[in-house]
A and B are shown apart, each in its own frame.
Chain A
Amino acid sequence: MYGTKDRDMKRRRSGWLAASLTGAMLLALVSCGSGGENKNLFSSQEDSSRVVDLFSPMEKADPKAENVARTAADLTVAMAEEALGVTVVYRTYTAADHQDKTYDEVCLDRARNDMDDLYLLNPDTIMTLGAEGKLMDLSGLDSAKDLREVVRTANTVDGKLVAIPQEVVAYGLFLNQTMFDRYELALPETPEEFLECCRVFQENGIDTPIGANRWWLETFVFAQAYAELYNSGDTEAKIAALNSGEARYSDYMRPGFEFLQTLIDRGYIDAEKALVSEAIEGEREDFLAQRTPIVMAYWGAANTETAYGKTDLELQVIGFPSILGQMPVISMSGWAVGAESAHREDAMKVIDIIASDEALRIYAETNRVISPSQNVKVDCVPALQPLKDRIEDGVYVLGSNAGMKVEQWGNTCLIVRDLLGGATVDECMAAFDALQDESLGLA
């Protein structure tokens, strides 16, 4: 009996030993395998990749990087890279502070010197570069066919569609509903109601009810200036009057500037702080800490966690106060191609893909924003519903309009900064008059 067991055990041990030795031999054989037989050890790989230089304020996420949430724009660019076999090379610029050149200034410099192929441009830059003929006409692209009319209008310069946005950026007032409820304040419709709200807040110890930065205070101005221009009919005629000099921009702008002046004078806005604050960075902390009940921001900020996408307070986004009630201000950053850029053909193809309905759907669903394509509609967070309702009702003003000879978005921003810096409303209006005169060739 024991003998049989012994024999079995020995047989098993021998099996193990044999298996181990076989494994060791295999390992040795694998490790001693010979390499290739080429004498020239260098294997050349021709770099045949096509490159499109893209200039934007954003870094591109490394596709191989782990745990990095890719932005909506990245996703669409990746689509283009895959479809076209090109590499979109990002060149970026971020101003360190307000003393640095702005992104827009750098954009202008780079586009004028044909430094890049593809640019993400703000409305004023689009207007400027379009007027200078530095941007390609994109109207022939397939992706341009389904654009909303407002988008087409805002980006057409001298009959050329010079930029296509990936989202329609709607600016609004971001309000702390809890604080409004606490002081039994209705959401303001008109400038007067807005001032009353600010007064009540201030009386209740909130010294500066409005958080502001050096970029977006102009939205108050646009809402009051162009509420009637865009929403009471004869818009084209009114714009034509402005372009011909029959009507003065300063007349449209004055109520808005006076309103801003009032806000500054009453201390509802800290002008000094606003003048050196970057967008969101300057006011976000106070708003989230419920020290400031009112800030202004764009639609996407309500979805972005680094902005106001995740707050402990009850957020509500409404239009800016105007004579016609809450008024969303629409602006569009768009993709444009340098007219003399080195890889403009590939850049055009890239835009055609990133502005396609498929890409725009991805973009809109990722960021939950209003798409420039009339074929793409997505839901929004509840806080944005009042703003969305107004836009869907067709009630809004454009922050930039390529049909106006005087660029609006950039100029107004700069003149508002003058106001923040201490200029009077009259001086600001004079600046508008000067710009209009210059556009008319009277300067």
Chain B
Amino acid sequence: MKQRSNRRKDRSGRALLLSIVLIFCVLGAIVYTVARKASQEMSSSAIQNLSESLDLLQCTIEAILNNEAEFQGVIAQELARTEDPEGYILTHAGNQMMTKLSLVLTGRTEGVSNTGEPFTAEGLDFSAGGTVKGMPVSRSYLNHMGTWAYTIKCPVEREGQEIGTLYVEYIYDAIDRSLPQEGFYNKQATLYIMDAESERFVLKPKGMGQRSAGHLDLNDFYRANDIRDLEIRAEVEQCLEEGRNALFYHDIRSTNALNYMWSVNRGTIFLVGYVPVDAIQQEGRTVNQNIIIVVTAMLIAFSLCVLLYYLSWRQQELLRREQEQERRLHDQQLTHALQAAQIASSSKTTFLSNMSHDIRTPMNAVLGFTTLLARDAEDPAKVREYTKKIMASGQHLLSLINDILDVSKIESGKVVLNFEKFALNDVIASVDAIIQPMAKAKGQEFRVEVTGVRHEYLVGDETRIDQILINLLSNAVKYTPEGGKIWLRIVGLKQRSSQYEHIRIEIEDTGYGMTQEFLQTIFDAFTRAENSTTNKVQGTGLGMAITKNIVELMGGTIDVSSEVDQGSLFQVDLELRIQEDQIDRAFWEQRGISRILAVDKDPEVLEDMRALIEETGPHLDTASAVAEAVALIQGGAEHQLVLLDWETAVSDSPQSAGALRAALPSTVPVLLLAEHDAKGTEAALQAGCSGLLTKPFFVSACREKIQELWADTKESSRTPEKNDTLARLHLLAAEDNEINAEILAALLAIEGADCEIVENGLLAVERFQQAGPGTFDAVLLDVQMPVMNGHDAARAIRSLPREEAGRIPIIAMTANAFAEDEKAALDAGMDAHVSKPLDVELLKKVIRRCMERRIGT
């Protein structure tokens, strides 16, 4: 379709171009025809014009010659009537026309001239045969005046008998005076008079000329004007012989000119010269110029129209293309959207299918074991086993539900990061506590490595960072076969800002790995690697999507590389703000610790330790071996704390820890740094080492250990057994769901607490109002209840006009588990928020803490 459209457009464009070319061709042909016709007509007109001018000159000269001949005839008649003709001649003075009159009487060879000189006709040449009115005219010659002249002779007859011959000399100057004095064609024409017989130029332009103009004779004229065309010259010669006119085009000094040889008096003399064509065609040139102007204007106008049309067409074409492109893009987007919708739909279908399976499986376990529990209720061992499995299935169901809720919340952009101060050690410790047992259960080796980290006290959402690490690590555990290896590496990168620690978290495993295709979608929601091995693994397929979203929410990046059956590597780059206040500095000072000795064979580890420790205050001395440390101590160095790497101590000698201990004063504690599964540390502890720190080293962990060692740790320690019990507490609870109410009552009863349960918020308020002071130790409120919800009930209780209403702990107890739900509860005047399903241990802690806080205040 599109190709057809393009072809149509091409054809249309070609047709347009052809039309324009055709119009130009037609226009050009018309202009050419008109110009050619005009040129031909002008040429004919020029020839006619020049012919007429030359005819006029010819007639003028012939009239002069005829007059001269007639006049000579009259003189001859006078002479015939005169008795003494020679005397008559002598008395006749010459004039400007006739310069010399001579008479030779018949029978004599010498006559007389009017100048008084004797005259003979010997020098005169009449052989050419030219005549004027029948009288012979001589060849031109240079006369006694130094000017060109000719002589006409006529017989003097008396009574029919010739008595002599009259010779009259005429000069060409007389003809010259009769010609236009200003020349013709605005002085641009060149005019010579040529004697035909001798081909000499006897009259030439005066007062102007061109150097080497060829004024001598015809050959000189040919030479000077570069007339070499033999055809022309032959034609001219022919005309000269026959006394015909010749007119031909020939450029004179690069100017187009009409050259002429115009016969006068039947060819005895010729008018010779040339006229530039432009001089004849002045008006024609103007007409031509005007035609050119008009044609040019038309062409410009036409070209302008074509240009405007073209611009308009191009603009429309551009617009059309843009629209088409836009439409195509829109179509593409629609297609993508459709595909995405289809994929999403497919994913969600798959997801629902998975969820159906994943939810039904533990649900089946719950229901199945509940049935079994009912049947075997009398057997305590089976009851404990069944309840344990029901609990596990319930926990699994809960995690599924949490993930689903989490991802939907992230996708709707409702996740708010909770920035708080935390120690990197706490994150690693909590993650290690979770992952280590999981790994151990699958026989996997899980190692934690920290390198290059300069600051361990940071600000960030610790819970979410935990979530990232647990998601990635639990996946690693899941997708790594038994006996595999898993690494968690925290690498300190070069800081981009002094206020932020730039860290890279690497999780590497030797697991099943992933295909490149799956890597493309690993971070998409509702995807899960499917193969014969992994489809045994339970999961929502949401973990990676949640992880990526959280990382990006923190301004970080996450990358993954993997090879099937080789393992996977996840890299998370985060920038976390460094805590400004250094609480550790005061800690060390209070305990008089200013110098610490670290013993480790790995210089990199020592360097990391130096960075962490010295950043908090104390100076760190290092030794790569126990012996070196002992020497240092014996050298007089005073250290208030010694950190000994267990592997270094073991590699030196099993007794080296004891040796070190012996070298130190008894008041100086020695802390062993060892992997969590290190063996043989008990001996070292017995040999005098003060305590054990799990690697990697963190100042916060070290501090906690020192706190434990020092007496002040006892100040903060409590006996959780006592504090966590709810015995003898009298609680008021509002719960509309009977089952939940029953569970709550049962659980609290187990803990020794007495709980009075009402069906809604209003009843709770009324009950609290009616109860006497001290009746209830705390109020537990469900949020979503009929009649009055939990929030309103809390507000109502707080607003009651009794002293106890303001301080009694009110705890929200709801399935709304989000942070904003907690905030809403606190805003309503509640003291804490516990999400359902209820975790009894957590509930105990929260109730106790709230009560202590109220008591404190």
Q: Could you tell me which A residues sit within 8 Å of B by CB distance?
A: 2, 6, 9, 13, 16-17, 20, 24, 27, 31, 47, 51, 53, 59-62, 65, 68-69, 71, 87-94, 96, 100-101, 105-113, 115
Contact = CB atoms under 8 A, between A and B. Distances in A.
B308 A13 contact: yes
Contacts of A110: 145-147
B210 A68 contact: yes
B215 interface: yes
A112 B99 CA distance: 14
A65 B210 contact: yes
8 contacts: A20-B304, A31-B290, A62-B209, A62-B210, A90-B207, A100-B142, A109-B142, A113-B144
Contacts of B290: 31
B200 interface: yes
B311 interface: yes
B145 A16 contact: no
Given A9-B315, A20-B301, A96-B216, A115 B147 contact: yes
Given A24-B297, A27-B297, A90-B209, A59 B215 contact: yes
B209 A60 contact: yes
Nearest to A107: B146
Contacts of B208: 60, 62
Nearest to A116: B146
Contact of B200 (A2, A59, A96): A96
A62 B183 CA distance: 14
Interface string B142-178: 1111110000000000000000000000000000000
Contact of B215 (A69, A92, A107): A92
Tell which of A17, A31, A112, A113 has the most Cβ of chain B within 10 Å. A113
A101 B211 contact: no
B142 A87 contact: no
B621 interface: no
B17 interface: no
B207 A59 contact: no
A115 B301 contact: no
Nearest to B181: A47
Contacts of B217: 96
Contacts of B304: 16-17, 20
B210 A113 contact: no
Given A101-B142, A106-B142, A24 B210 contact: no
B295 interface: no
Interface residues of B, number: 33
Interface in B204-245: 204, 206-213, 215-217
Contact of A61 (B144, B206, B211): B211
A240 B403 CA distance: 150
B146 A89 contact: no
A13 B311 contact: yes
Given A20-B301, A68-B210, A106 B308 contact: no
B207 A89 contact: yes
B840 interface: no
Given A9-B315, A13-B308, A24-B297, A106 B207 contact: no
Interface in B295-332: 297, 300-301, 304, 308, 311-312, 315, 319, 322
A273 to B, nearest CB: 22
B225 to A, nearest CB: 14
Contacts of A96: 200, 216-217
Contacts of B341: none
Given A17-B308, A94-B215, 12 more contacts: A2-B322, A9-B315, A47-B182, A59-B213, A62-B209, A68-B210, A90-B207, A96-B216, A101-B142, A101-B146, A109-B144, A111-B146
Contacts of B146: 93, 101, 105-111, 113, 115
Interface in B623-641: none
Contacts of B311: 9, 13
B322 to A, nearest CB: 8
B293 interface: yes
A71 B15 CA distance: 66
A24 B301 CA distance: 9
A13 B208 CA distance: 57
Interface of B: 142-147, 181-182, 200, 204, 206-213, 215-217, 290, 293, 297, 300-301, 304, 308, 311-312, 315, 319, 322
A27 B204 CA distance: 45
A89 B308 contact: no
Contacts of A61: 209-211
A54 to B, nearest CB: 9
| Chain B interface, DSSP helix/strand/loop, else mixed | loop
A59 B212 contact: yes
Contacts of A87: 207
Contact of B206 (A6, A27, A90): A90
Contacts, number: 88
A59 B211 contact: yes
Contacts of A115: 145-147
B792 to A, nearest CB: 55
A42 to B, nearest CB: 15
Contact of A94 (B211, B216, B293, B319): B216
B319 A2 contact: yes
A43 to B, nearest CB: 14
B210 A91 contact: no
A47 B144 CA distance: 32
B210 A27 contact: no
Nearest to A94: B216
A317 B300 CA distance: 67
Contacts of B215: 59, 92, 94
A407 to B, nearest CB: 19
Contacts of A92: 204, 215
Nearest to A69: B211
A153 to B, nearest CB: 28
A2 B209 CA distance: 71
A201 B528 CA distance: 121
Given A94-B216, A96-B216, A59 B209 contact: yes
Contacts of A105: 146
Which 6 A-B pairs rank lowest in CB-CB distance, beginning with the nearest? A109-B146, A110-B146, A89-B207, A113-B145, A106-B146, A59-B209
A109 B304 CA distance: 73
Contacts of B301: 20, 24
A206 B216 CA distance: 35
A109 B147 CA distance: 8
Contacts of A107: 146
B320 to A, nearest CB: 12
B206 A91 contact: yes
A259 B722 CA distance: 165
A96 B216 CA distance: 7
A2 B147 CA distance: 89
A61 B210 CA distance: 5
B266 to A, nearest CB: 25
Nearest to A101: B142
Contacts of A108: 146
A27 B312 CA distance: 28
Nearest to B209: A59
A17 B301 CA distance: 9
Contacts of B319: 2
A59 B215 CA distance: 9
Contacts of A16: 304, 308
Nearest to A92: B215
B211 A68 contact: yes
Nearest to A62: B208
Nearest to A21: B301
Contacts of B213: 59
Contacts of B204: 92
A24 to B, nearest CB: 7
A90 B206 CA distance: 6
Nearest to A28: B297
A295 to B, nearest CB: 23
A100 B148 CA distance: 12
B123 to A, nearest CB: 12
Contacts of A31: 290
A32 to B, nearest CB: 12
